Amino acid sequence: DAGVIQSPRHEVTEMGQEVTLRCKPISGHNSLFWYRQTMMRGLELLIYFNNNVPIDDSGMPEDRFSAKMPNASFSTLKIQPSEPRDSAVYFCASSFKGTGTTDTQYFGPGTRLTVL
């Protein structure tokens, strides 16, 4: 299995530009998570989906952030407009949600975003 795939791996952009991060979860997994990691705030859950439906977006920092999951094999996280404080590593993770369990999450390699 290829694991969770994220693209791009690195993104450098200027303040005010739109940024789109992409994720392909592991085939057969039905839950997908977006995290942000910074030195100051650690690993934060932004949003997660189950069966392509957003379940909890309480971690999304503000309206500039949006996430979609149009099908079981693809998700995007969009920042518009981007700001320097959005600079971080963004991880996508997927898992298979069984009944009555909290399952292992498999992380992608991450996208390192730098907003100048």
Binding site for other proteins (CB under 8 A): 31, 33, 35, 42-45, 48, 50, 55-56, 91, 93, 95, 97, 99-110
Minimum CB separation of residue 30 from other proteins in Å reads 10
Residue 81 or 87: the one with the smaller Cβ distance to other proteins is 87
Cβ–Cβ < 8 Å for 23, 111: no
Residue 41 or 80: the one with the smaller Cβ distance to other proteins is 41
Residue 81 or 105: the one with the smaller Cβ distance to other proteins is 105
Cβ–Cβ < 8 Å for 44, 34: no
Q: What sign does the CA torsion over 11, 81, 22, 55 have?
A: positive
Residue 18 or 41: the one with the smaller Cβ distance to other proteins is 41
Minimum CB separation of residue 114 from other proteins in Å reads 15
How far is Cα 68 from Cα 23, in angstroms, rounded to an integer? 10
Minimum CB separation of residue 87 from other proteins in Å reads 16
Minimum CB separation of residue 81 from other proteins in Å reads 27
Q: Which residues pair with 79 in a beta bridge?
A: 19, 65
